[in-house]
Amino acid sequence: MAEKKTKKETASKKKETPKAAVSAKTEKAPAVKAPATEQKKARVGVFICHCGTNIAGSVDIPDVQEYAKSLPNVAFADNYQYMCSTPGQSKIIAAIKENDLTGIVVAACSPRLHEPTFRTATKEGGLNPFRFEMANIREQGSWVHMHDREGATDKAKDAIRIAVAKASLLQDLVPKTVPVEHAAMVVGAGIAGMQAALDLANAGIKTYLIEKNPTIGGRMSQLDKTFPTLDCSQCILTPKMVDVGRAENIDLMTCAEVENVEGYIGNFDVTIRRKARGVLTPAEAEAKGIVGGGCNGCGDCEAVCPVIKPNPFEMGMKPRKAIYIYHPQVVPLIYTIDWDSCIKCGLCVEVCGEKKAIDLEMKDELVKVKVGTAILATGYDLFPIEKKEEWGYKKYENVVTSLEFERLICASGPTGGHLVRPSDGVTPKKVAFLLCAGSRDNTGVGKPYCSRFCCMYSLKHAHQIIEKIPGVQPYIFYMDIRSFGKMYEEFYYRIQDEGAKFMRGRVANVLEDPDTKNLLINAEDTLLNRPIKLEVDMVVLAAAVEPAAETDRTRKLFGVSRSMDGWLLEAHPKLNPCGTTTAGVFLAGVCQGPKDIPDTVASAEGAASAASIPIHKGEVELEPYFAQCIEEKCAGCGMCVNLCPYQALSLVEKEGRTVMQVTEAKCKGCGTCGGFCPGGAIWMQHFATPQIIAQIDAFLIGGAK
Amino acid sequence: MPRTKGYPEALEKKLADTRLYEDERHPEFTKTVEKLSMSIPHMCYQCGTCTASCPSAPRSSYRIRKFVRRALLGLEDEALTDPDLWLCTTCYSCTDRCPRDIAPTDVIMAMRNLAFKRDIIPVNFLKTVQAIYTTGHGVPNNDVNRAARKKLGMNPEPPTTHAFPQYVKGIQKIIDYYELKKNADRIVKEREG
Amino acid sequence: MADEWKPQIMGIICNWCSYAGADLAGSARTQYPPDIRIIRVMCTGRVDPLFILKAFTDGADGVLVSGCHFGDCHYLEGNYKGAKRMFMVKSLLKNIGLEDKRLRMTFVSASEGAKWAKVVEDVVKTVTDLGPNPLKELAP
Amino acid sequence: MREYAFFLGCIAPNRYPGAESASYKTAEKLGIKLLDLEGASCCPAPGAFGSISLEIWYAMAARNLCLAEQMKKDIALICNGCYKSIWEVNHKLKQHKELKEKVNEVLKTIDMEFKGTIDVWHLAELFYDPEIVGVQKIRDSVKVSLEGTRIAVHYGCHLMKPRKERHFGTTEHPTWLEEMVGALGAEPVEYRNKMLCCGAGGGVRGYDLVHSLDITNEKMINLKEARVDALTEVCPFCQLQFDRGQIEIEEKFGVKYNLPVLHYCELLGLAQGMSPQELALDLHGISCEPFLQKVL
């Protein structure tokens, strides 16, 4: 039953498609006359790539070529060492002209790699580029059946047969060109987001910089010094923060989150939630008619606020008020109210006086902006290292994380830069640094990856205490020191020379002496082959990092995938580390994977450059994989309308009938509608039902064997 | 060995250590240990967490990390003939903490199984077997205990194989199925005469 | 060797996750049995139940539909809709007396090359255990 | 009243019958009836048998499991070593079909078959489980509060470790047994490195007594530091190591601790009003007198 029905459909659709195709054409596409090529008998050319020995090593190329020649509709077959090379492409161009081909099949690597290359070649040969189909015989052939020549060869033959079946039915398609909004968005204003926004702004692009916290600066602003140069982190960061605050092209929104994203590359409609910070900026005040008002950062409000809470910027080790700034160098210098702890006593409003900066009734606002491209720079959090219970974090007071250490050693931190033990305020004389705390951990509790910057900052920590505390002894418990960057190994040399003791062994557990609050470390000196117990005053855990908590929500809004470990997935790990599979969305900094500051800045500049290209080009081509309605068949049932996730389909009256209509600009070509049209009335361009059925038939009943 | 051909014997002996990897490697050993232990010692990165967790390590030359390394390298003879093999208290602290999710304790148990196949086994282990073979219990009942049980109003023989000796036959059948009693008796006799 | 029966399995997989995952298995040289042939669609939402039925009437011994993880679909929710249809097809298969295990829907992301290899291995094993598709004799 | 087949093991019935007797009586007061598991044998000792041949260990433990399967009752037991054998073999055979088939081949020779129809529990975990007994019910059952005593807990190894194979959660800083001690009115006392092994397991006690006592001694030093009146545990083998071990430590190292060591069931028995005679505390190597004087 099913089969018959499908067959009939296939037949009838074939007749109708030219009409559908014509109606789908826009005025922009006069060059190719679809019906003319449609009616011609299919003449397909097959080209088989050796890819050096990558394919030829596991696939019998001559055999496959002979087989390809025997297939119906195949007018020409050839092979070449490297089809993607210029001579390889020339073969395609020449063959189209010489053999009057209507479709091209290249059996080589993945279409995700070289489809664009061969489409261009097809076009240069005088055919519509969408008359090209690729057979993947490398990634899904020779490489996964390396030692099964017969199996790989058979699979290659089938793959070509399936591709030829589709190529025989392919149509001319014309990509749509859309204009690109001359604006960009950067989500996250840590060092990555700031750098990307500055680059975009300097390239003349209006840039919206969205930050969830009340200030920009991110993790880097929490650090004391940076390795290996020992630059003061704040000193090199604050100029950038000021630049961001001042840049004309940057529209900085702090206390803001992305609420919703619609559209596609060139035309993203982004809704931003500007959370009520309870305090007006001077500009906002002016807009409200308060002349010379708004927050000037004087801090009078903070002085009178009666509520005391831990400051998250100081890792909770310093108090702040319910109306607060994180630290003196914040950008923008505007106070923020923590609604969870504010008791609305109104003292701040009173003291603020004529500036009228404080509004205790402020509500969240939703702002809509349109951007052409977007960069995600959402950064990282520390892995909750208390989950690795053996090291006693949160159980023993003198076990701290590296980020807490940064605040404790920082001159602007809670202790004014004097490193002290949280338990008794005494300066520690023996400090142990535990590396790979939760990193390189396959137990399912920690993280399987290397967090990449812990080795180096722990070396820096050791240096800092040697510098500040006379007679201190740092112990670094490590498995491997990974000092791979420029001047990093030299830094390692320096710290060893300064007297840090390197203990090659992972710490099994930490115990506390309840009386002295000293810590007893159990480890093995694996180089001496000897278990060691070491009593220290303080333990610093170089905790693993993980994607920031909001990353998952944000990435889903932008349609970005994540890899198995949670970091956002780049389009290609080697060759497109800033891009994503969603056109127009790019990644910067640690959200893509652990990076130190130089790598983060480099990746941010890369992302900014990539994100500016479509904007400067002014227009982008969208793949023409739209749904089309075959109106003769459409019963107007409307089932597809609800299936479409993009509201691209609607029912309209036409010649007295209700039929479905596609808004092409909204359609992204997923085909969900076409997958369930009961009447088979939806024509998915390039993935049309007859084309797919032909592939199925070719695979299962088209075999010559 | 050709590499040290012509060396004086004493020097050759000294150099033997350096040939460890070539001469003594048994890849099959790694595989057998992995199968018996249902664990993955070949994934060890030698961090030492296991040794540092080990209650036996500080008071002996027993280094569980070394045994895992031997499993990884296939150093069968070295692993099985080391008397330290029998110092593991099977406390599983190493297993709980291993960042590579290896079960070093089970690796040790697997190696002990293989050592037994070569008759390498402390006699006390075999005496437990003998005791269980005769009474069903590794720590059998005695008169002091019987008297105490009676005083408590309990049956002097607990309702185990002690009160139901007919069940001992089944136990013996299982042990005989593997010829364990025979081997145990033989080894104990060899050691103690 | 030649007359040993090998299953014919059709894989319809989405471009963004499973196809990319399969490519990753390739570049990582993860080996798996060669008994599957792939048809690429943009999204598993595109998979018409008729495609599956067509494949079985054509004599396919097994069909694997693979897409993105839920919540990870490139087109927001195409995979939910695809999966829903596969349940329907499974019950249809049961109704006509064909083992519904011959149809598998899996979720393999672009970063799960190793998982893809495992999935294929598993499907090939399941289908091999089930034996040839009884409809094959009727196939054209 | 919930019913369980009571797996005794060796040391409780044959060395500390008070622990056995206390288990029956305390459990009954808490709504658990322990039934005799006739013909049960040694679990067998995981250290000794597991070291010789895991295969035989599986088969021997499976025989005990079959006895309970025939009774159609879950097993309850009071020894960590038994828990390791009985619980783990039950768990492994249920998980691995191949292993089960191999074991059943052997069991066939004695007309038995492991089916995998029952579960295995430590009595202490049944006591702690709020759906079965729970701490509150224990507290309610106390007649003689142990108030004024400081009691340290030794968890032992094979009950909760390896963590991944078990279901008890943390093995670094567990506190559930402390809660159960607190329910008796006593003050549970933390001490240094409480999760350290008693030193007896893995056949080490038999293989190298001094080595094994050295570990016990380390524990004793830590316990002494914490100034406790008694140590409680849930494993008669650990109990033996701590109790008889103290005498051996005195012989070998010349140090005296005189720290009473009681199985949790004995402690619970005391709190529920059982007399020291009913618990046969006189069979302990280390006199419980000083502790009893504080309580009674």
CB-based contacts of B75-78 (< 8 A; 24+ apart in sequence): B75/B20, B75/B24, B75/B25, B75/B26, B75/B29, B76/B24, B76/B26, B76/B29, B76/B114, B77/B24, B78/B20, B78/B24
Q: Quick one: pLDDT at residue B16? A: 65
Residue A256 near residue A262 (C-beta atoms within 8 A): no
**Does A437 score more than 90 pLDDT?**
yes
- Mean pLDDT for A232-245 is 95
pLDDT tens track for B56-108:
999 999 999 999 999 999 999 999 999 999 999 999 999 999 999 999 999 99
* Strand-pair partners of A252: A209
Q: Quick one: pLDDT at residue B25? A: 78
State whether residue D254 sits within 8 Å of chain B by CB. no
User: Which pLDDT band holds residue D247 (cuts at 50, 70, 90)?
Assistant: very high
- Mean pLDDT for D22-37 is 96
User: Backbone dihedral region of A60: left (phi > 0), alpha (psi from -120 to 50 degrees) or beta?
Assistant: beta
pLDDT tens track for C7-24:
999 999 999 999 999 999
User: Which pLDDT band holds residue A5 (cuts at 50, 70, 90)?
Assistant: very low
Tokens of B74: 């296939």
Q: What is the DSSP letter of B87?
A: G
**Does A30 score more than 90 pLDDT?**
no
Residue D93 near residue D20 (C-beta atoms within 8 A): no
| Alpha-carbon span A545 to A457, nearest angstrom | 13
Residue A402 near residue A218 (C-beta atoms within 8 A): no
Per residue of chain B (193 residues), give pLDDT as tens: 445 556 677 777 766 666 656 666 788 999 999 999 999 999 999 999 999 999 999 999 999 999 999 999 999 999 999 999 999 999 999 999 999 999 999 999 999 999 999 999 999 999 999 999 999 999 999 999 999 999 999 999 999 999 999 999 999 999 999 999 999 999 999 998 7
Pair type for strands A649-654 and A657-662: antiparallel
Do residue A390 and residue D193 have CB atoms under 8 angstroms apart?
A: no
Largest CA distance in chain C: 46
In chain A, what residues touch B65 (CB-CB under 8 Å)?
Answer: 524, 526
Q: Quick one: pLDDT at residue A702? A: 78
Q: What is the DSSP track for B111-157?
A: HHHHHHHTT---HHHHHHHHHHHHHS-SS---HHHHHHHHHTTS-SS
- Chain A CA closest to residue C108: A564
**Does D42 score more than 80 pLDDT?**
yes
Residue A477 near residue A433 (C-beta atoms within 8 A): yes
User: Which pLDDT band holds residue A11 (cuts at 50, 70, 90)?
Assistant: very low
- Mean pLDDT for A415-425 is 95
- Chain A CA closest to residue C60: A700
Q: What is the CATH number of domain A44-168?
A: 3.40.50
Cα–Cα nearest to A680, from A666, A693, A668: A693
Surface-to-core class of residue A96, CB atoms within 10 Å of its CB (0-12 exposed, 13-18 middle, 19+ buried): buried
pLDDT tens track for A138-181:
999 999 999 999 999 999 999 999 999 999 999 999 998 999 99
- Mean pLDDT for A555-567 is 89
pLDDT tens track for D122-165:
999 999 999 999 999 999 999 999 999 999 999 999 999 999 99
Q: Quick one: pLDDT at residue A563? A: 87
Task: Look at residue D208 and give its three-state secondary structure.
Answer: coil
The C-alpha angle A3, A6, A11, rounded to 5 degrees, equals 125
Largest CA distance in chain A: 93
Residue A584 near residue A590 (C-beta atoms within 8 A): no
Q: What is the DSSP letter of B37?
A: H
Q: Using alpha carbons only, how large is chain C's radius of gyration in Å?
A: 15
The C-alpha angle A148, A149, A154, rounded to 5 degrees, equals 100
Q: What is the CATH number of domain A623-705?
A: 3.30.70.20
CA atoms within 13 A on the CB side of C1: 3
Residue A131 near residue A40 (C-beta atoms within 8 A): no
User: Which pLDDT band holds residue C1 (cuts at 50, 70, 90)?
Assistant: very low
| Alpha-carbon span A262 to A668, nearest angstrom | 12
Tokens of A2: 């099913």
Do residue D14 and residue B158 have CB atoms under 8 angstroms apart?
A: yes
My answer on whether omega of the bond before B122 falls inside 30° of 0, hence cis, is no
Tokens of A301: 């409000």
Pair type for strands A132-136 and A585-587: unpaired
User: Backbone dihedral region of A425: left (phi > 0), alpha (psi from -120 to 50 degrees) or beta?
Assistant: left
Give how far the C-alpha of residue A520 lies from the chain's centroid of Cα atoms, to the nearest Å. 42
Q: What is the DSSP letter of A463?
A: H
- Would you tell me how many other CB atoms lie within 10 Å of the CB of residue A318? 16
Which domains can be identified in chain B, with CATH numbers? 9-117 (1.10.1060), 123-192 (no CATH)
Q: D 200-229 residues with CB below 8 A of A?
A: none
Residue D64 near residue B132 (C-beta atoms within 8 A): no
| Alpha-carbon span A554 to A647, nearest angstrom | 21
- Locate CATH 3.30.70.20 in chain A: 623-705
Tokens of A617: 């080009």
Task: Look at residue A656 and give its three-state secondary structure.
Answer: coil
Write the residue in B89, B92, B112 that is nearest to D162 by C-beta: B92
Q: Quick one: pLDDT at residue B19? A: 63
Surface-to-core class of residue A89, CB atoms within 10 Å of its CB (0-12 exposed, 13-18 middle, 19+ buried): buried
Q: Quick one: pLDDT at residue C137? A: 79
| Alpha-carbon span B91 to B57, nearest angstrom | 12
Distances (CA, A) of A326 to A69, A213, A309, A410: 72, 9, 12, 14
Q: What is the DSSP letter of A140?
A: I
pTM over 0.80: yes
| Alpha-carbon span A251 to A275, nearest angstrom | 16
Cα–Cα nearest to B184, from B105, B112, B106, B130: B130
Instruction: Name residue, tokens 């609800």.
Output: A642
Write the residue in A392, A395, A511 that is nearest to D193 by C-beta: A511
Q: Quick one: pLDDT at residue D77? A: 97
Contacts A–B by Cβ distance under 8 A: 68
pLDDT tens track for D137-146:
999 999 999 9
User: Which pLDDT band holds residue A39 (cuts at 50, 70, 90)?
Assistant: low
Give how far the C-alpha of residue B181 lies from the chain's centroid of Cα atoms, to the nearest Å. 17
Q: D 52-71 residues with CB below 8 A of B?
A: 52-56, 59-60, 63
State whether residue B88 sits within 8 Å of chain D by CB. yes
Q: Quick one: pLDDT at residue A622? A: 87
**Does A4 score more than 50 pLDDT?**
no
The one-letter amino acid code at B119 reads D
Mean pLDDT of chain A: 92
| Alpha-carbon span D23 to D37, nearest angstrom | 14
**Does A9 score more than 60 pLDDT?**
no
The one-letter amino acid code at A194 reads M
State whether residue B110 sits within 8 Å of chain D by CB. yes
Task: Look at residue C103 and give its three-state secondary structure.
Answer: strand
pLDDT tens track for A587-617:
999 999 999 999 999 999 999 999 999 999 9
pLDDT tens track for A177-229:
999 999 999 999 999 999 999 999 999 999 999 999 999 999 999 999 999 99
- CATH C-level class of A384-546: alpha beta
Which domains can be identified in chain D, with CATH numbers? 2-123 (1.20.1050.140), 134-295 (3.40.50.11810)
Rounded to a whole number of angstroms, the distance from the CA of C57 to the nearest CA of chain A is: 7
Residue A169 near residue A42 (C-beta atoms within 8 A): yes
Residue D168 neighbours by CB under 8 Å, 6+ apart? D125, D159, D160, D174, D176
Rounded to a whole number of angstroms, the distance from the CA of D199 to the nearest CA of chain B is: 6
Per 3-state DSSP, what percentage of chain B is helix, strand, and coil (rounded to 5)?
65, 0, 30
Residue A197 neighbours by CB under 8 Å, 6+ apart? A186, A189, A207, A209, A244, A247, A250, A608
pLDDT tens track for A53-94:
999 999 999 999 999 999 999 999 999 999 999 999 999 999
Distances (CA, A) of A422 to A321, A425, A426, D281: 22, 6, 8, 46
Q: What is the DSSP letter of A377?
A: -
Rounded to a whole number of angstroms, the distance from the CA of A422 to the nearest CA of chain D is: 21
Question: Phi/psi of residue A632, each to 5°?
Answer: -60, -30
pLDDT tens track for C57-77:
999 999 999 999 988 888 888
Q: Quick one: pLDDT at residue A8? A: 42
Q: What angle separates helix C18-27 from helix A111-124, to the nearest 10 degrees?
A: 100
Residue A589 near residue A293 (C-beta atoms within 8 A): no
Residue A325 near residue A241 (C-beta atoms within 8 A): no
| Alpha-carbon span D117 to A183, nearest angstrom | 66
- Locate CATH 3.40.50 in chain A: 44-168
Q: C 32-91 residues with CB below 8 A of A?
A: 32-35, 37-43, 45-51, 53-55, 57-60, 68, 71-72, 74-78, 81-82, 85
Mean pLDDT of chain C: 92
Residue A597 near residue A480 (C-beta atoms within 8 A): no
List alpha helices for A233-383, DSSP H: 233-246, 282-287, 300-304, 347-352
Do residue D40 and residue B160 have CB atoms under 8 angstroms apart?
A: yes
Residues of B near A (Cβ–Cβ under 8 Å) read 43, 45-54, 57-58, 63, 65-66, 93, 97-101
Give how far the C-alpha of residue A556 lies from the chain's centroid of Cα atoms, to the nearest Å. 10
